[in-house]
């Protein structure tokens, strides 16, 4: 069987582990031996054919339309690095100016769902997955609930939410879960002292750590939600991450939580992260192994795949809609002036101007290191994780 290069995603990865090689393709992960790879780290032709026959290069079909909706562009926290800030707080406090405030209404929901129905029909998709996003989406709980309830008519199969969780109540968690919400992503900025200095209330500048943990515990008792705990890593909180992992394992149910460690890039206006990848690899490896030992799940490495939403032109398989019904190519530009690529009423714009505004995930998310250093960092961390998962029988 000849290898059809057209079936490849272009995002395959070949990583050298301690005892073997790891191939990460569209079809999953395969362990390879030295006989499958040349001395300089290239797949042998017969290995490529074997991987192709196993479907490791074939692109998986998109099965659900991915709809991201900002139910509110406002936020009740004042994080200095937020990509939705338009400047730093001139007073040095907790109120950096943000993108224009807007709130999802019933009328806009009608337009969003009409637009989504057209997009799903054009893509031949019958299932829908919704992301509730903001700002802080729970500043508009009515909008969240109404959107999920009315989306059921389009074949909504699941939903998730990115929230700071400071406004999440057991009652609201139960209501959202009943309407299809299955998981929530919540961010921690290091252990409690660092977090309470960084993720602060916009109104009073107060800490939020204990409130978030309490709300996650109570919401977990009220609804069968799963949690992705994103741990931001910067020079401001690096030294507290080890203790954070232990604190979270003591307070939460690790079996229902995935820990995701994420380096904060230079994305906010006037914000810079001084950590470099050379000093982070060993720490990320240590944190992941500690999390696994305590019963958490950690995100598994995979092939590089285009984002369902922004990785395809014209919103073919997904869309990002701001609270006022304007379209963005990805959540990083949603709600930002001069970055709109259309509206739910009129659809996507065409032409050079629209093309210039179409950016993919992290295109605007800058780091102070080159692509090669970032790739080496990710490959080192991912290889160590795969080796550990194999050694402990979790792969």
pLDDT of residue 59: 83
pLDDT above 60 (res 341): yes
More confident residue, 371 or 309: 309
pLDDT of residue 3: 32
User: Stretch 259-264: mean pLDDT, rounded?
Assistant: 91
Parse the chain into domains and list their residue ranges: 5-60, 64-305+363-380
Q: What percentage of the chain has pLDDT greater than the value 70?
A: 93
| pLDDT band, very low/low/confident/very high, at 342 (cuts 50, 70, 90) | very high
Measured in degrees and rounded to the nearest 5, phi and psi for residue 214 equal: -60, -45
Q: CA 140, CA 16: separation in Å to the nearest integer?
A: 48
Side by side, the strands of the sheet bearing 21-25 are: 13-16, 21-25, 28-32
Would you state the torsion angle of the CA atoms of residues 139, 162, 262, 298, taken in this order, to the nearest 10 degrees? 140
Q: What is the pTM of this model?
A: 0.93
Q: CA 32, CA 19: separation in Å to the nearest integer?
A: 10
Residues 134-178 have pLDDT tens digits of 999 999 999 999 999 999 999 877 999 999 999 999 999 999 999
pLDDT of residue 275: 74
| Cα–Cα distance list, 269 to 80, 86, 371 (Å) | 8, 6, 22
pLDDT of residue 60: 83
pLDDT of residue 160: 98
pLDDT above 60 (res 4): no
169 DSSP 8-state letter: -
Tokens of 375: 């790739």
**Lowest mean pLDDT, pick from 5-9, 128-132, 330-334:** 5-9
Give the chain's count of helices (H) and strands (E): 10, 14
Q: CA 357, CA 339: separation in Å to the nearest integer?
A: 6
Tokens of 97: 């100016």
Q: CA 343, CA 357: separation in Å to the nearest integer?
A: 14
User: Stretch 81-89: mean pLDDT, rounded?
Assistant: 91
| pLDDT band, very low/low/confident/very high, at 362 (cuts 50, 70, 90) | low
| pLDDT band, very low/low/confident/very high, at 108 (cuts 50, 70, 90) | very high
Strands (E), 206-337: 226-233, 257-263, 297-298, 318-321, 326-328
What CATH architecture applies to the domain 64-305+363-380? Alpha-Beta Barrel (3.20)
Residues 39-60 have pLDDT tens digits of 999 999 999 999 999 999 988 8
């Amino acid at each position: 069987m000849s290898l059809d290069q057209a079936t490849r995603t272009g995002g395959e990865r070949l990583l050298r582990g301690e005892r073997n090689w790891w191939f990460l393709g569209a079809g999953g992960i395969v362990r390879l031996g030295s006989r499958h790879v040349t001395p300089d780290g290239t797949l042998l032709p017969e290995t490529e054919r074997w991987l192709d026959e196993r479907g490791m290069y074939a692109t998986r079909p998109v099965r659900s339309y991915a709809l991201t909706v900002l139910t509110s562009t406002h936020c009740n926290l004042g994080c200095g690095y937020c990509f939705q800030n338009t400047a730093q707080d001139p007073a040095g406090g907790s109120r950096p100016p943000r993108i224009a405030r807007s709130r999802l209404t019933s009328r806009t929901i009608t337009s969003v769902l009409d637009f989504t129905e057209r997009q799903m029909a054009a893509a031949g998709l019958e299932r829908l997955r919704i992301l509730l996003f903001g700002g802080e989406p729970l500043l508009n709980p009515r909008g969240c609930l109404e959107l999920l309830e009315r989306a059921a008519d389009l074949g909504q199969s699941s939903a998730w939410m990115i929230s700071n969780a400071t406004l999440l109540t057991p009652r609201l968690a139960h209501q959202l879960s009943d309407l299809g919400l299955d998981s929530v992503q919540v961010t921690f900025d290091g252990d409690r002292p660092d977090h309470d200095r960084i993720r602060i209330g916009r109104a009073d500048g107060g800490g939020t750590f204990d409130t978030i943990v309490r709300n996650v515990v109570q919401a977990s008792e009220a609804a069968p939600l799963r949690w992705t705990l994103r741990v931001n890593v910067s020079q401001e909180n690096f030294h507290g991450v080890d203790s954070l992992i232990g604190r979270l394992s003591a307070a939460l149910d690790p079996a229902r939580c995935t820990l995701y460690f994420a380096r904060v890039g230079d994305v906010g206006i006037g914000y810079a992260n001084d950590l470099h990848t050379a000093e982070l690899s060993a720490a990320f490896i240590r944190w992941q192994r500690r999390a696994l030992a305590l019963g958490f799940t950690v995100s598994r490495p995979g092939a590089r795949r285009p984002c369902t939403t922004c990785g395809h032109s014209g919103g073919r398989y997904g869309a990002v809609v701001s609270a006022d019904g304007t379209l963005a190519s990805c959540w990083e530009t949603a709600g930002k002036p001069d970055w709109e690529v259309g509206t739910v009423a009129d659809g996507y714009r065409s032409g050079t101007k629209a093309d210039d505004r179409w950016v993919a995930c992290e295109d605007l998310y800058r780091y102070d290191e080159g692509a090669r250093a970032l790739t080496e960092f990710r490959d080192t961390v991912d290889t160590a994780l795969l080796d550990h998962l194999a050694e402990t029988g979790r792969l």
